[in-house]
Amino acid sequence: TINTLTKMKKLISILMIAAIFLAACSKEKLNEQPLNESPDVFNDIRLVTLTDGSKSTGITMLEFTSIDHYENTIGALEALIEQHEDAFLSTWSSLDDDALNAKEEEVGFVDYQPLIDFENAYNIPSSMRQAFELAEADWLDNEELDTETDPSKVYSFDIAEMTLLNADGEVKIGDVLLKLTNKGFVKIDNVDVATLIRIKEGDLSAYLEPTVTTNIEFDGGEKSGSDCHWWKGKDYWDEYVTNSKKVKLHVHFHSYPWKGVSKARITSYKKSGSKWKQYRMNLGVANQSDFRDNNCSNSLLMWSGWKHKKRKSINKGNDSWGAFPQYRAENGASVFGQFQYAGNSSTRVLVW
């Protein structure tokens, strides 16, 4: 639509200006590395407000035409973040870690500026990314980090995906309303807004409606004689410099309505005065997966390969498409994260 193209022109103009400023590069150099995520990738995204016809307050969320549209948008946003980060490092990569982090604050570099620009272009009033950012800032503003109150336990998705979800984890894909939580997903067919409202209000009977599919395991959800689940995550912490530097090593498995996902993520932190900040340094991560089927048998082996970047947080994962309930993870056997940081190497497995 004309409005969509206008928004995308505005978004790409903002991103190009930011890239020019941060990378201090010429127009010719910028044109050598165009934003290949053209307006076509973001085409037909709409911000919609849905009601059930009887409620005065609607539910606002982004709308995508299909699962492919949703997934491709996530991929495009991730690519924009990489370009944004690489532009910054192309100018300042000669600095050591402390100087690089100081320079980042000095010039006002914002890691996820492309995501902010995307939200602004679509006039998104409240995203899960915004909610996570506020909660994380509050959590880091402490002398000691309480790992039990880490907001990533609630906001358990990659940052690009959280940009596409409203603050309550909701998005419209075709005629499906999808709600993502730290406990699993709720898929509501036929744009059944009334049922979504009931679920948001805590009505557990709404999960029994014929339009609803969910993998939230209210009763534990284990298969008889096995230890497999659709949705699990675990953090491991290493304070490798006492009261100064630490990393969070995260592994998880999520079974979406259309795919299974295994992920390993490493995030770096450094203490600054009486609070903590994410800290840019050389990080490495890889993911090995062994998916189980819905009966917790058979297996699907996958290896992600390594990713090494000078970042505050990086992840690597494997996914396989298949209609729910295609995949589960087995306790201690399905998701392995391999991590490298500050001369250390370690492997962590998803257990519960």
Q: For 53-109, what is each residue's pLDDT tens digit?
A: 876 689 999 999 999 999 999 999 999 999 999 999 999 989 999 999 999 999 999
The pLDDT score that the predictor gives to residue 55 is 60
The Cα angle at residue 11 between residues 9 and 16, in degrees rounded to 5: 95
Q: Report d(CA 26, CA 36) in Å as an integer.
A: 18
Give the pTM.
0.88
Q: What confidence tens digit (pLDDT) does each residue in 102-130 have?
A: 999 999 999 999 999 999 999 999 999 99
pLDDT above 80 for 15: no
The pLDDT score that the predictor gives to residue 26 is 34
Q: What confidence tens digit (pLDDT) does each residue in 184-223 have?
A: 999 999 999 999 999 999 999 999 999 999 999 886 554 4
For residue 73, give both structure tokens.
């948008």
pLDDT above 80 for 294: yes
Mean pLDDT of 313-330: 96
The pLDDT score that the predictor gives to residue 28 is 33
Residue 114: which of 265, 4, 13 has the closest Cα? 13
pLDDT above 50 for 38: no
For residue 37, give both structure tokens.
């995520």
- Taken in order 202, 205, 211, 215, the sign of the CA dihedral is positive
| Average pLDDT, rounded, for the chain | 89
The pLDDT score that the predictor gives to residue 54 is 79
Examine residue 151 and say whether the peptide bond preceding it is cis (omega within 30 degrees of 0).
no
Q: Report d(CA 276, CA 298) in Å as an integer.
A: 44
Residue 236: which of 285, 289, 280, 300 has the closest Cα? 285
pLDDT above 70 for 13: no
Q: What is the dihedral of CA 138, 19, 107, 284, to 10 degrees?
A: 60
Pairing of strands 59-64, 170-173: parallel
Q: What confidence tens digit (pLDDT) does each residue in 221-265 have?
A: 544 446 999 999 999 999 999 999 999 999 999 999 999 999 999
The pLDDT score that the predictor gives to residue 33 is 36
The pLDDT score that the predictor gives to residue 11 is 54
The pLDDT score that the predictor gives to residue 217 is 85
pLDDT above 70 for 3: no
Question: Which of the listed ranges 32-36, 49-53, 243-247, 324-328 does the model predict with the highest average pLDDT?
Answer: 243-247
Q: Report d(CA 131, CA 122) in Å as an integer.
A: 17
Residue 66: which of 200, 154, 199, 178 has the closest Cα? 178
For residue 225, give both structure tokens.
């004689």
The pLDDT score that the predictor gives to residue 144 is 95
Residue listed under structure tokens 């053209």: 38
- Taken in order 181, 169, 57, 66, the sign of the CA dihedral is negative
Q: What confidence tens digit (pLDDT) does each residue in 161-190 have?
A: 999 999 999 999 999 999 999 999 999 999
The Cα angle at residue 334 between residues 330 and 335, in degrees rounded to 5: 125
Q: By percentage, how much of the chain surpasses pLDDT 90?
A: 82
